[in-house]
Structure 1
Amino acid sequence: MALPAIEHVQAVAFDLDGTLCDSVPDLAAAANSMRLYLGMDELPQQTVESYVGDGIAKLVHRVITNDREREADPKIWEKGFIYYMHYYRAHLSDLTRPYPETEAGLALLKSLGIPLVVITNKTEILAVELLKQLKLADYFSLILGGDSLSEKKPNPLPLRHAAEVLGIAPENMLMVGDSRNDILAAKAAGCLSVGVTFGYGDMPLLSQDPATKPDWLIGALPEIYEHLQPQKPQENN
């Protein structure tokens, strides 16, 4: 995919789950522990993965009903949600790991003096704690969760808020993510969108629709640095 004009990028925002780290093993373990607690059978990890991306409140609905769209009975959902949050918070990083080149990519971008932020639909307190446990928190100037503001992705508000806090125009910020929500939020905010091909979303499929086609596809985070660092003029032989 052709690269966008990127010489003016002043900040980079990242999604968390499926972009910086592979958290599905712990999300699925919490989901299945909750289902057993509620007297239900376990779900395949791949099924839970397909339900991730819109925050834990929505994930609990989907895991209880085993359906992306249906909502659970309010009393069952509340019982499940309380259990899920307690279990997941106690097991945030048992199996969750940064993707292989996450830290290298973040360190390279920090070396350019570009502020980095996390914009996730995960609850803020869990996002902050997970990043601390993964030893990634210090790379970021700002961490916004799904409950930090009145709206979450795909609404553009978190991206616009981050740009405002950093004192830059949204069009000068990259939004890096693996899902439909990330791309839609970036486009609505006026940010450049970068889709990762190693996350939970189907980026080749999303790229077929103009509404969810990212400006740029990458297979590893260091690729961002490679295209943002100042280009040296070619010497004549």
Structure 2
Amino acid sequence: MTAIVFDLDGTLIDSVPDIHNAAVRMLAEEGHPPLGIARIRSFIGNGVPALISKIMNDIGENPEDAARHAVLEQGFMRHYRAAPAVLSRPFDNVENALQALAAAGFTLAVCTNKPEGIARKILQDLGMGSCFRAVIGGDSLSVRKPDPAPLHAAIAQAGARTAIYVGDSEVDSETALAANLPFVLFTQGYRKRPIAEIPHDAAFPDFSQLQAILETLLEPVSGHSKESAVSRSL
């Protein structure tokens, strides 16, 4: 059984509007002017603690001040938990792609640096909760991506023996490399660098193309399937 494991933010969903909204509300409480949505988007990818550190640096506060960091993180999370999926939306053709992959016999999972509870709520609120056999978040383990442990945990929780990781960013690429798994890059997400500078096995701009790409990666080659090539001891 092959698992297709997805990142969440910038891969399955455009979550920036809700993250930006929570950040703006938190900043207003603390007497700071809002940051633009493009600025907040550039901070996404390494989890909430890293997001708060980048916001603090941007507004002239010391990210190393643990007590202050905790206050801002708690404020952000209070607002974000209250409304994590009001403005967020799946990218075009995501739902159809997930249904087609499940019908083709793939097992689906999510591995994200977003807190697991919020990730599950977003998936449920957007009607995708039943699509995934496993969801691993940034707080599910003691480490987060790009450490490979969360990705391995998602594959194990999904009950799969082989896997391909689908993501949108440098962090996702690093995670797949660390896990020794193929990586498929969604090019319309939150990456910071040009596509050519991000290691990947395949890339796509629209989810209508994903199934064909995955099947190509798993095609038999010289009498051996690529599925065997992506098998890992998990």
CA RMSD of aligned residues (A): 1.9
How much has 1:167 moved relative to structure 2?
4.2
C-alpha contact (below 8 Å) 1:153/1:181 kept by paired residues = yes
How much has 1:228 moved relative to structure 2?
4.2
Is structure 2 residue 211 aligned with structure 1 residue 222?
no
How much has 1:53 moved relative to structure 2?
0.8
Q: Which residue, 183, 196, 207 being the options, matches 1:193?
A: 183
Paired AA for residue 175 in structure 1: Y
Q: Report the counterpart of residue 106 of structure 2 in structure 1.
A: 114
> Which TM-score applies when normalising by structure 1?
0.85
Which stretch has the larger CA shift, 103-112 or 214-223?
Answer: 214-223
Q: Report the counterpart of residue 73 of structure 1 in structure 2.
A: 65
How much has 1:99 moved relative to structure 2?
0.7
Is structure 2 residue 196 aligned with structure 1 residue 207?
yes
C-alpha contact (below 8 Å) 2:109/2:158 kept by paired residues = no
1:229–1:213 distance in 2 versus 1, CA, 3 Å: closer
* Aligned residue pairs, count: 215
C-alpha contact (below 8 Å) 1:178/1:196 kept by paired residues = yes
How much has 1:223 moved relative to structure 2?
1.6
Paired AA for residue 198 in structure 1: Q
How much has 1:163 moved relative to structure 2?
2.6
C-alpha contact (below 8 Å) 2:202/2:213 kept by paired residues = no
Q: Which residue, 104, 107, 113 being the options, matches 2:96?
A: 104
For residues 65 and 76 of structure 1, the distance between their equivalents in structure 2, rounded to whole angstroms, comes to 12
| Structure 2 gap segments, 5+ residues each | 220-234
Listed one character per residue, the Cα deviations across residues 66-118 of structure 1 (whole Å, up to 9, x for unaligned) are 18xx6252222222111111111111112111111110111110111110000
Alignment map for 1:158-197 (pairs within 5 Å)? 158-169=150-161, 172-197=162-187
How much has 1:213 moved relative to structure 2?
1.3
For residues 136 and 220 of structure 1, the distance between their equivalents in structure 2, rounded to whole angstroms, comes to 18
Paired AA for residue 219 in structure 1: P
1:72–1:133 distance in 2 versus 1, CA, 3 Å: farther
Percent identity between the two aligned chains: 33
How much has 1:47 moved relative to structure 2?
0.5
Classify the secondary structure of the residue corresponding to 1:175.
strand
| Structure 1 gap segments, 5+ residues each | 1-8, 232-237
Q: Which residue, 120, 129, 134 being the options, matches 1:137?
A: 129
C-alpha contact (below 8 Å) 2:133/2:157 kept by paired residues = no
Classify the secondary structure of the residue corresponding to 1:78.
helix
> Which TM-score applies when normalising by structure 2?
0.86
Paired AA for residue 89 in structure 1: R
Runs of 4+ in 1 over 6 A off after TM superposition: none
How much has 1:190 moved relative to structure 2?
1.2
For residues 158 and 127 of structure 2, the distance between their equivalents in structure 1, rounded to whole angstroms, comes to 23
Listed one character per residue, the Cα deviations across residues 106-154 of structure 1 (whole Å, up to 9, x for unaligned) are 1110111110000000001110111111111110000000010121111
1:179–1:140 distance in 2 versus 1, CA, 3 Å: same
